[in-house]
Chain A
Amino acid sequence: MTETTLAPAPVEVQKGWGGQSVRRKEDKRLLQGEGVFVDDVKRHGMGYLHFVRSPYAHAHITRVDVSAAEAIDGVYGTLTGEEVAALTEPFFQISSAPGANIKDYSLAVGKVRYVGEPVVAVVAETRELARDASELVEVDYEPLPAVVDARTAQDSDAAVLHDDAEGNLMWSGLYSWGDLDAAFAEADRVVKIPELHFHRFNSTPLECDGALVEFNRGVGQWTIHTNNQFPGFAAIMMGPAMQVGLDKLRFVTQDIGGGFGNKITSHPQLVVCCLLARKLNRPVQWTEWRTDFHLSMSHGNERWFHDTEVAVKDDGTLLGFRTKALDDAGAWLRYEPLGGVIWAQVTPGMYRWRHIELDFTQVATNKAPVSPNRGYSRMQHLWFTERVIDIVARELDLDPVEVRKRNYVRAEDMPYTTPNGCVYDSGDYAAMLDLALELVDYESIPGRRAEAKERGKVLGVGIGSTLDSGTNNFGQSRLINPELQFSGNNEVATVKLDIFGEIVVTLGTTPQGQGHETTAAQVVADILNCSVDDVHVRAGHDSYWNSHAGFSGTYASQFAVTGLSAVKGATEMLAAEIKRLAGAVFGGVPEEALELADGGVRIKESPDAFLPFMACGAIVNANNAGLPEDLEVTLNCRYVYRPPFEVPDVETKTGNLTLTYATQIHVAVVEIDPETGAYEIVDYAAVDDCGKRINPQIVEGQVMGATAQAIGAVIHETYEYDEDGNLLTPNFYDYHVPHALDMPPLATGAIESPSPFTPLGTKGMGEGGGAGIHAVCAAIQDATGQIVTDSHNPYQRVWRLLQEAQA
């Protein structure tokens, strides 16, 4: 079934550990059920938290009575929105006005705004009792009309979610680069696309959110065992809301059961746990139920593109486009409206058009809040640009492959500066496309079309692309709100040599399956010239370790750059210190005369003069009398990697928004049963280029996972609401995620275009799924001959397309 092709680009045989598919260090514990996930953490006397949630999409809360629940034996206590409003400040808002004016607390205050919104928290002796007692909490509601369609959210008769914002508009901004008038004047044709829709779904990590929170009354500090994947962000949201310094919030994680961005915005629930741990004077445990996750957590941004106009030449040369993007934020701006600028990291997609205008509007609706989801905001925009390519090709009767190749940013253009000042670091998109087509045997497609037709099926081929922009410049937030004081990025690692020569590495990241312990060990082992087995990378994240910075976490395709560059920096510091120490021990031997080898340091010219790491660690840590006074060596090195960024220009909305651009090109071949619209992906290829790969097997695993999520999203996965704002897919019965039997045959391929901008030539990667969504959409368009306007294409929608084709 799986054909793995790591070719045709020559893969050089690597010296050292980097570049090898080293077996993962994490696996041994995970394979034996010995991982520690958040729900595995227990404390004596802990209480289980259950949220009472809103049954209405939009309603005033007129009364809350927790007395019946609190009267039950074994119920430890409750927390209401009224208490939260008294004890905390509203969360800081990223948005400028009007979104800046909304007041977001960790529980609903006065009003509910989506089905599933937490209203009251109940803590009890057991999970079951907490759930039962929640049923006894009385909440009276006065229902209000619900806003469920972003397209009508700004109508004069639409209900208003947030009175403080005086309407449902949260944020808007016009982006315009190049000379649109000139581009449209030069165009032979203007292709018009009235409406495209990117649907609402998310990655549904198998482990839901959770926390075990302890309050240390003596020092006023909370220890938050959690699977939040971006503690740096949670901390800056929680500290000001709770009016405490960040030293009072200790975040601890070990293993996380998938994140995909969906575990970035659990800070409201964490605040509730903190308040209750303090109020009840006992540890508080919260594990989200699957249904609660679906109802309330981190839906991906639903986006509409209206009135798109594309300026093209008859030969398919793309000159530019203008469009209006309408983004549905759901009820709260938990990470939003950052989606309103994140897309701009990939403004022109893969293509060389220079004249682009995008009018972005984000509105609030009575649905779950959106937050980052694998491919966050770029996925929507890349799907749009790819859709434009195939629609243009159809309108001009050109080959989609040729239109792509004519307009791709070329290998010789790299590094390529986009119209809005982003710099695509390296890559060869045309070569990737050729490889992907080869992997599905593109030459054979005409014959296979005919053969399928004989069987009563229709066959189609489609291409999709992802630019996996990684390592954010947080300065882009200023394009949303010029008042914000964020810019750049950072990550931390510490590497030390301990008393018995143990090499101990600590990361600032919060991996959820990306194999950081393994790839970090590979980088360290190459620098210290030792085995990966000798490198001990601490599992997980603990803000007590002093190995974190403001942007620490695992999100947005950056570990291979930020995390591993921090590891590299710290290890090089350690290597230099080991040599300085050995030089002194050997009686004044210069560093240049020394080398690291065989688990120690030696004099190059006389290798018998050898000091093992164990001796180095012991001397500095436990046997240091007599060392020269001016020998500043701790063998405990901390390095902060800071990518080279400037603050973007808020006037022109230009600047380099991300450091690297990993790329994926996917090709899907589908076969449709015209009687039913049911279709099968009969062939699939995914080609990746993420620069230098530290561990090709881990990279390929990310490609595969992203592909599976794309296939799920395009065929099955959707968060659909009825007109009253009820979610129709609140669990895995109704929200079908792919199973083993759903997966098509897959061929993977890779090329390596090292990034010139990163210390290891690496690029962050992992979010490549958007390519797959489009590849399937394009294949359906190819098979049916009908323009595909939606990213979600279940069988009934394809059947309707076929009906339209016949009519």
Chain B
Amino acid sequence: MDVAVTVNGTTYERDVEPRKLLIHFLRDDLDLTGSHVGCDTGNCGACSVIFDGVLVKSCMLLAVQANGASIETVEGLAEDGELTPLQQAFNEHHALQCGYCTPGMLMSATALLRENQSPSDAEIKKALQGNICRCTGYWNIVEAVKSVAR
């Protein structure tokens, strides 16, 4: 099926299999490999992207459902190589180790901070609940998000 999807401001037109997952479309068809796959069941959140302004797990959508949508992925966060304050905070607070969950974490935290610029600790943890990290234990991730909250 033909789809037209805008990702990070660029519109892509592709013919995709109706069964193809959005995450595989992003990674395999558009070569946007920043978003990752960590499970088969929608639990891990490594594939999180912002879809028409709403945080979604891109493994839980089909690529054809993205027809006409505007999607933001981790590749679109920094502008001209300048890291966002959130990305910088992840670096300062050592909020990543292997970096595999990081793109999903950044998208979840970005979505949170757009909705709520002064989240409490509990709100930050709740917002990150759908993202699994096996390296950090989350403490530094929460600290990083907190540091850019107002």
Residues of chain A at the chain B interface (Cβ within 8 Å): 1-2, 21, 23-24, 26-28, 30-37, 39-40, 42, 126-128, 203-208, 255-260, 287, 289-291, 512-515, 697-698, 700-701, 704-705, 707-709, 731-733, 737-741, 743, 746
Instruction: Give per-residue flags for B86-121: 1 if the beta carbon is below 8 A from chain A beta carbons, else 0.
Output: 010011101011111111001000000000000001
Is B61 in contact with chain A by the CB < 8 A criterion?
no
**Nearest Cβ on chain A to B93's Cβ, whole angstroms:** 9
A-B contact pairs, 22 of them (CB 8 A): A2-B140, A2-B143, A31-B90, A31-B96, A37-B36, A127-B24, A128-B19, A128-B20, A204-B134, A206-B36, A207-B100, A255-B100, A258-B134, A701-B140, A708-B134, A708-B137, A731-B43, A732-B41, A737-B134, A740-B124, A741-B126, A743-B125
Is B54 in contact with chain A by the CB < 8 A criterion?
no
A127 to B139, CA, bound (A): 36
Establish whether residues A289 and B40, one from each chain, have CB atoms under 8 Å apart when the complex forms.
Answer: yes
**A26-B99, A33-B74 as given contacts; A704 in contact with B140, CB under 8 Å:** yes
Q: Say which residue of A1, A513, A707 sits within 8 Å of B99 (CB atoms).
A: A513
A708 to B121, CA, bound (A): 18
Establish whether residues A732 and B98, one from each chain, have CB atoms under 8 Å apart when the complex forms.
Answer: no
**A1-B121, A33-B32 as given contacts; A39 in contact with B140, CB under 8 Å:** no
**Which residues of B from 67 to 96 have beta carbons under 8 Å from A?**
73-75, 77-78, 81, 83, 87, 90-92, 94, 96
Residues from chain A with a CB closer than 8 A to the CB of B96 are 27, 30-31, 513
A737 to B134, CA, bound (A): 8
Establish whether residues A709 and B136, one from each chain, have CB atoms under 8 Å apart when the complex forms.
Answer: no
**Nearest Cβ on chain B to A353's Cβ, whole angstroms:** 33
Is B138 in contact with chain A by the CB < 8 A criterion?
yes
Q: 9 extra interchain contacts, Cβ-Cβ under 8 A, other than A32-B78, A207-B38?
A: A2-B143, A33-B34, A33-B103, A128-B17, A203-B134, A698-B94, A709-B137, A740-B128, A743-B137
**A128-B17, A737-B132 as given contacts; A206 in contact with B100, CB under 8 Å:** yes
Is B56 in contact with chain A by the CB < 8 A criterion?
no
**Nearest Cβ on chain B to A631's Cβ, whole angstroms:** 42
Residues from chain B with a CB closer than 8 A to the CB of A128 are 17, 19-20
Residues from chain B with a CB closer than 8 A to the CB of A259 are 98
Establish whether residues B121 and A512, one from each chain, have CB atoms under 8 Å apart when the complex forms.
Answer: no
Establish whether residues A731 and B41, one from each chain, have CB atoms under 8 Å apart when the complex forms.
Answer: yes
Is B141 in contact with chain A by the CB < 8 A criterion?
yes
Establish whether residues B135 and A705, one from each chain, have CB atoms under 8 Å apart when the complex forms.
Answer: yes
Q: Say which residue of B17, B92, B100, B130 sits within 8 Å of A257 (CB atoms).
A: B100
Instruction: Give per-residue flags for B8-46: 1 if the beta carbon is below 8 A from chain A beta carbons, else 0.
Output: 000000000101100010011001111111111101101
**A31-B83, A704-B137 as given contacts; A257 in contact with B142, CB under 8 Å:** no
Smallest Cβ-Cβ distance to B128: which chain A residue: A740
Classify chain B: how many residues form its interface, as a range: 35 or more
**Nearest Cβ on chain B to A405's Cβ, whole angstroms:** 28
Q: Say which residue of A31, A127, A287 sits within 8 Å of B87 (CB atoms).
A: A31
Residues from chain A with a CB closer than 8 A to the CB of B87 are 31-32
**Nearest Cβ on chain A to B114's Cβ, whole angstroms:** 18
Residues from chain A with a CB closer than 8 A to the CB of B33 are 33, 36-37, 39-40
Is B129 in contact with chain A by the CB < 8 A criterion?
yes
* Number of A-B contacts defined by CB within 8 Å: 187
Residues from chain A with a CB closer than 8 A to the CB of B128 are 739-740
Identify the interface centre among B32, B39, B43, B129: most chain A CB within 10 Å of its CB: B39
Is B133 in contact with chain A by the CB < 8 A criterion?
yes
A21 to B28, CA, bound (A): 37
5 closest A-B pairs (Cβ-Cβ)? A33-B34, A30-B99, A708-B137, A257-B100, A513-B97
Establish whether residues B137 and A707, one from each chain, have CB atoms under 8 Å apart when the complex forms.
Answer: yes
A512 to B98, CA, bound (A): 5
Establish whether residues B36 and A733, one from each chain, have CB atoms under 8 Å apart when the complex forms.
Answer: no
Establish whether residues A205 and B98, one from each chain, have CB atoms under 8 Å apart when the complex forms.
Answer: yes
Establish whether residues A290 and B41, one from each chain, have CB atoms under 8 Å apart when the complex forms.
Answer: yes
Establish whether residues A290 and B40, one from each chain, have CB atoms under 8 Å apart when the complex forms.
Answer: yes
**Nearest Cβ on chain A to B122's Cβ, whole angstroms:** 8
Establish whether residues A39 and B37, one from each chain, have CB atoms under 8 Å apart when the complex forms.
Answer: yes
Q: Say which residue of B129, B131, B134 sits within 8 Å of A709 (CB atoms).
A: B134
Residues from chain B with a CB closer than 8 A to the CB of A32 are 34, 74-75, 77-78, 81, 83, 87
Establish whether residues B83 and A708, one from each chain, have CB atoms under 8 Å apart when the complex forms.
Answer: no
Identify the interface centre among B27, B129, B131, B133: most chain A CB within 10 Å of its CB: B133
A30 to B133, CA, bound (A): 14
Establish whether residues B129 and A740, one from each chain, have CB atoms under 8 Å apart when the complex forms.
Answer: yes
Residues from chain A with a CB closer than 8 A to the CB of B125 are 740-741, 743
Residues from chain A with a CB closer than 8 A to the CB of B44 are 206, 290, 732
A218 to B94, CA, bound (A): 46
Establish whether residues B132 and A2, one from each chain, have CB atoms under 8 Å apart when the complex forms.
Answer: no
Establish whether residues B43 and A205, one from each chain, have CB atoms under 8 Å apart when the complex forms.
Answer: no
A701 to B73, CA, bound (A): 26
Residues from chain B with a CB closer than 8 A to the CB of A126 are 17
Residues from chain A with a CB closer than 8 A to the CB of B121 are 1
Establish whether residues B20 and A35, one from each chain, have CB atoms under 8 Å apart when the complex forms.
Answer: no
Establish whether residues B98 and A207, one from each chain, have CB atoms under 8 Å apart when the complex forms.
Answer: yes
Establish whether residues B139 and A1, one from each chain, have CB atoms under 8 Å apart when the complex forms.
Answer: yes
Establish whether residues B75 and A33, one from each chain, have CB atoms under 8 Å apart when the complex forms.
Answer: yes
**A32-B75, A258-B98, A740-B129 as given contacts; A205 in contact with B134, CB under 8 Å:** yes
A700 to B137, CA, bound (A): 11
**Nearest Cβ on chain B to A424's Cβ, whole angstroms:** 27
Q: Say which residue of A36, A127, A206, A513 sits within 8 Å of B46 (CB atoms).
A: A206
**Nearest Cβ on chain B to A290's Cβ, whole angstroms:** 4
Q: Say which residue of B73, B100, B129 sits within 8 Å of A258 (CB atoms).
A: B100
**Nearest Cβ on chain B to A71's Cβ, whole angstroms:** 20
Residues from chain B with a CB closer than 8 A to the CB of A743 are 125, 137-139
A26 to B102, CA, bound (A): 12
